[in-house]
């Protein structure tokens, strides 16, 4: 068994935890016994049972998932800290490098180092997962997109694919926003959602390329502090505070209550690539499929544990779903819903 070093291609660690694989199943089972507080949630087509030891962690994480439809659970995920369950013996060496492992036996582990590191474990056959906070307190990024590596792993053998992007829609027809961070995805998605558009996300979404569908992963959003003035009413009602990662400060928004009847997915009608070129009003320009592919692939390669060949094929199918446009979102977010509506109305169903 090996941990894969993510710092560069084709690099492998040699000072590993050779017994980790055999511990994943029993550790996930122990975690669920320890986590007595239960909840539920959904991500796209997947239904989850959620388990916690800490009431505070449960109250922070469970509302981030869309509500479940009450079907059978595809996975039960426990969220525990070091004080709940000591797993320090499973931390990889060295502990400051990201690692991931996927095996054909259905076991998966990932280690994400940080000031507040996280260990992810999955026993796919038993449908059990664990998100373990090595520093006792969940990191800010985990409280925006909890269990993302486990959800990604769960999707590998399905027709669904995670994508770094946002999406909003009307009458079941959605615009998918793709691009790097700070390109304007959150601004565009939130500007539409607060005027009544359906909301599928601003950061990560789940898609089914074969059917050109998009569905929400979470009910959260992350809004840069430099655009807060344009969303002051929404921030006042939904912000859980400001977090700063690598110098990037954002309001963490909890939208489940505010947009309770708007969090849903639908058919992808167009793919928009936000960019800022100085236009005072929203403007559109045709884009190539390869532009959309590059925008999606720029971050998708960091989503574990996809093989590059499968990921490339699925993202190629995704960008083939719908016409693609560049959009300069302009300087006034309030203009975006009407302009997006006109674009959507002009596209063939």
User: How many domains does the chain contain in total?
Assistant: 2
End residue of a domain, out of 90, 121, 155: 155
Beta-strand pair 266-275/213-216? antiparallel
pLDDT for the residue numbered 90: 87
Are 64 and 148 in contact by the 8 Å Cβ rule? The answer is no
Check whether residue 81 and residue 165 sit in a common domain. Answer: no
**Structure tokens given for 148:** 């993302």
- In sequence order, the 6+-apart residues with CB closer than 8 A to the CB of 231 are 190, 191, 194, 223, 333
Check whether residue 339 and residue 273 sit in a common domain. Answer: yes
Backbone angles phi, psi at 2, to 5 degrees: -135, 150
Q: Which CATH number covers residue 185?
A: 3.40.50
Q: Which of helix, strand or coil describes residue 26?
A: helix
Q: Which of helix, strand or coil describes residue 169?
A: strand
Check whether residue 279 and residue 301 sit in a common domain. Answer: yes
Check whether residue 205 and residue 254 sit in a common domain. Answer: yes
Check whether residue 201 and residue 128 sit in a common domain. Answer: no
Check whether residue 77 and residue 179 sit in a common domain. Answer: no
Which residues constitute the domain of residue 181?
161-346
Cβ burial of 77 (10 Å; 0-12, 13-18, 19+) is buried
pLDDT for the residue numbered 212: 96
Q: What is the pLDDT along the chain (349 residues), one digit of tens a residue?
A: 334 433 332 222 333 355 677 889 999 999 999 999 999 999 999 999 999 999 999 999 999 999 987 778 999 999 999 999 999 888 877 788 777 776 767 888 888 888 889 999 999 999 999 999 999 888 888 888 999 999 988 998 899 999 989 999 999 999 999 987 667 889 999 999 999 999 999 989 999 999 999 999 999 999 988 888 999 999 999 998 888 777 778 889 999 999 999 999 999 999 999 988 888 999 999 999 999 999 988 776 555 555 677 888 899 999 999 999 999 998 899 999 999 999 999 998 7
């Amino acid at each position: 068994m090996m941990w894969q070093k993510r710092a560069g291609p084709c690099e492998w660690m040699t000072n590993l935890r050779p017994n980790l694989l055999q511990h994943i199943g029993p550790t996930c089972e122990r975690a669920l016994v320890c986590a007595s507080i239960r909840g539920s949630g959904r991500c796209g087509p997947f239904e989850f049972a959620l388990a916690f030891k800490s009431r505070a962690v449960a109250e922070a994480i469970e509302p981030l998932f869309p509500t479940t439809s009450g079907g059978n659970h595809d996975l039960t995920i426990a969220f525990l800290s070091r004080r709940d369950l000591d797993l320090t013996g499973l931390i990889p060496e060295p502990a400051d490098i990201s690692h991931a492992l996927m095996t054909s036996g259905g076991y998966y582990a990932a280690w994400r180092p940080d000031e507040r590191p996280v260990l992810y474990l999955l026993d796919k056959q038993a449908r059990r997962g664990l998100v373990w906070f090595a520093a006792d307190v969940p990191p800010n990024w985990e409280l925006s997109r909890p269990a993302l590596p486990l959800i990604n792993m769960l999707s590998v053998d399905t027709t669904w694919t995670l994508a770094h992007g946002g999406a909003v829609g009307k009458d079941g027809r959605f615009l998918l926003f793709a691009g790097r961070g700070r390109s304007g995805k959150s601004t565009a998605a939130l500007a539409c959602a607060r005027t009544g558009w359906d909301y599928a996300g601003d950061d990560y979404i789940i898609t089914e390329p074969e059917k050109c569908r998009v569905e929400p992963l979470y009910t959260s959003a992350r809004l840069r502090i430099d655009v807060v003035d344009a969303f002051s009413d929404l921030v006042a009602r939904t912000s859980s505070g400001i977090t700063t990662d690598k110098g990037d400060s954002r309001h963490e928004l909890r939208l489940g209550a505010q947009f309770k009847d708007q969090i849903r997915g639908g058919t992808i009608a167009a793919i928009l690539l936000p960019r800022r070129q100085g236009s005072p009003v929203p403007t559109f320009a045709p884009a190539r499929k390869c532009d959309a592919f590059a925008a999606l692939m720029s971050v998708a390669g960091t989503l574990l544990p996809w093989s590059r060949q499968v990921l490339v094929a699925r993202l190629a199918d995704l960008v083939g779903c719908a016409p693609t446009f560049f959009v300069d979102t302009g300087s006034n977010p309030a203009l975006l819903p009407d302009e997006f509506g006109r674009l959507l109305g002009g596209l063939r169903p």
